[in-house]
Chains A and B, each alone.
Chain A
């Protein structure tokens, strides 16, 4: 992580100035313990370079069945502040608590879009091996099964909702700076009915004194993903690189640009300097690559794509949408993508 901007340690006595934006706790909330942590706060900077994507067979490290679960779905992303007194050893207890919480909320009349005569069973489990560094906490996978109240003998409980909390290559300085009682799993991926997501989030917030917010993927993150995936082409055929923009015209104009994988890789290869021993990609290269594509487009249509918003990036390896939805289609690049998203989630943390 040499490439990262140096983290500045703030002296304990001084009032900590927060970075320009924080989407988590607001200043007016009553101060929690986290707020008063003495002198160990770091300022996480947006990195200007990162490692190029490397294909790795992660099923050697992680249970293939668990990997299959992560790859199958489209996930809606949220970021979560550090969990207070979360223990990986108490997952069974959490399963019971969350089941009870959902049933209780349902009885209170909270709309859960699964038939009225159903019971819920929650399972928490760990996905061992997804963590990359000592500081990363192991990923926690949550599934909610539904079962009709009067089930026949052969009825198998159906998975109605799943989600996972993860941290991959989280900024070590940030993670080390957390007080001992906190576990940081900043990235929360969910799939299932919105009502259940809301319930799980509110349970997490109450149980671990944390805060969950949806994560928006800005164009910088999407650009990084476009480049990281394009760089994979010599190893794994990406088949296409598709970029989607929306222009704020009236009515709005959607522009999708689908590029041939070989051509787009050649463009990237001509920009990217591969001389360094640790293959890193710099933000400047990413910007030149995107400008290269946008200017080629401009020469044809004379439309300024910068006037609009980059909404979606997709290749056959996966896709990422501005609204925080991602899909990872190829398990070999899970660590690369999760590293980027973990960082994106940590950047949203209040400091």
Chain B
């Protein structure tokens, strides 16, 4: 156990709640059951850590093993830091037959080819997700184990989620991903958030969707007695319609938990009766950011309650339709409706 290994062990153990320590260590599989029994989990963390460290020394564990524990922690707590979604493009014929062993070998090989010092760890999670931990170094320095990049890829899908990646390492990672998954390119999906699961659900449409229908849903019973049955009915119908449209745009039930959506507006001024600006050719620039603890739920409520007009504008429904939360809105041409273009990478 060198200093770095101890450091990673300390940082990881600190983050794990006491209740989950035993379970996490068990799944790590580098400390035997009998050794685990000697540990007292009710001790203060720093005392516990000393005891654990001596067990690690006893078992001759090194950085490689400790980083595995760190990975287990991250896999069990995926909603941390900021995840950015990327999308692989133009799958080759073999793309669908890529399996774990092959991917593991190729990914490592492609990365090692361009970087002398890099340490890669790949682990498969239960739900088909492949977790990759990359510690980057350069030609002269050993990999920095304390600032690893985490990558999650679902095999046979075009989606990759990346966390803590510096722009310096981006090209290397992208190239290795493209080659080992048998695609021809990769692009930024303009979707980010702290919940990995939410990003995945949004992109893979794994949430309760509502589709446009001509049949109205049965009216729910309401407690308040309306002043006049017809007025009440009309109100209820309108409210129901708004809710239907809100759900069509943002999903029903529990929706993926996004925190923000950003729109860079580069459209012409469209405000109320101001001829000077409306006649102007240059765009009226601004950046709009929506923030909430659960953005899609807030927007759904916003439309359903009438704080926003229904039907939902394509700008907002694009969050779910296109699976993005970063947009640049420009004018298509003179007089044309706004159009969405992505940020150039």
A301 to B318, CA, bound (A): 12
Decide yes or no: A258 and B286 within 8 Å by CB, A250-B298, A300-B315, A300-B329 being known contacts: yes
A271 to B274, CA, bound (A): 8
Given contacts A250-B301, A271-B274, 19 further A-B contacts (CB under 8 A): A249-B292, A249-B302, A251-B292, A252-B292, A252-B298, A254-B290, A254-B291, A266-B280, A267-B277, A270-B276, A291-B271, A296-B284, A297-B288, A300-B338, A301-B315, A302-B309, A303-B309, A304-B308, A307-B307
A303 to B289, CA, bound (A): 13
Q: Are B287 and A258 in contact (CB under 8 A)?
A: yes
> Which of B21-29, B119-127, B262-270 contacts the other chain?
B262-270
User: Which 4 A-B pairs have CB atoms at the shortest separation, nearest pair first?
Assistant: A270-B276, A296-B271, A260-B285, A299-B270
Interface residues of A, CB < 8 Å — how many? 34
Question: Which residues of B (292-332) have their CB < 8 Å from a CB of A?
Answer: 292-295, 297-299, 301-302, 305, 307-309, 312-313, 315-316, 329
Q: Are B285 and A251 in contact (CB under 8 A)?
A: no
B294 contact set on A, CB distance < 8 A: 251
On A, residues with C-beta under 8 Å from B are 247-260, 263, 266-267, 270-271, 291-297, 299-304, 307-308
A299 to B271, CA, bound (A): 7
Q: Are A296 and B269 in contact (CB under 8 A)?
A: yes
B293 contact set on A, CB distance < 8 A: 251
A to B CB contacts below 8 Å, 30 in the list = A247-B298, A247-B307, A249-B298, A249-B302, A251-B292, A251-B297, A253-B291, A253-B299, A254-B291, A254-B292, A255-B291, A258-B289, A260-B285, A260-B286, A263-B282, A263-B286, A267-B284, A271-B274, A292-B271, A292-B274, A293-B271, A296-B269, A296-B271, A297-B288, A300-B263, A300-B270, A301-B316, A303-B307, A303-B308, A304-B309
Q: How large is the interface on B (under 10, 10 to 19, 20 to 34, 35 or more residues)?
A: 35 or more
Assess whether B35 is interfacial by the CB under 8 Å rule.
Answer: no
* Nearest neighbor of B316 in chain A, beta-carbon distance: A301
Contacting residue for B290 out of A255, A292, A299, CB 8 A? A255
Assess whether B272 is interfacial by the CB under 8 Å rule.
Answer: yes
A267 to B279, CA, bound (A): 12
A304 to B309, CA, bound (A): 8
Q: Are A302 and B292 in contact (CB under 8 A)?
A: no
Q: Are A270 and B274 in contact (CB under 8 A)?
A: yes
A301 to B307, CA, bound (A): 11
Contacting residue for A256 out of B271, B283, B288, B299, CB 8 A? B288
A331 to B330, CA, bound (A): 38
* Nearest neighbor of A257 in chain B, beta-carbon distance: B288
Q: Are A255 and B288 in contact (CB under 8 A)?
A: yes
Q: Are A300 and B313 in contact (CB under 8 A)?
A: yes
A292 to B276, CA, bound (A): 12
Decide yes or no: A266 and B291 within 8 Å by CB, A247-B307, A295-B271 being known contacts: no
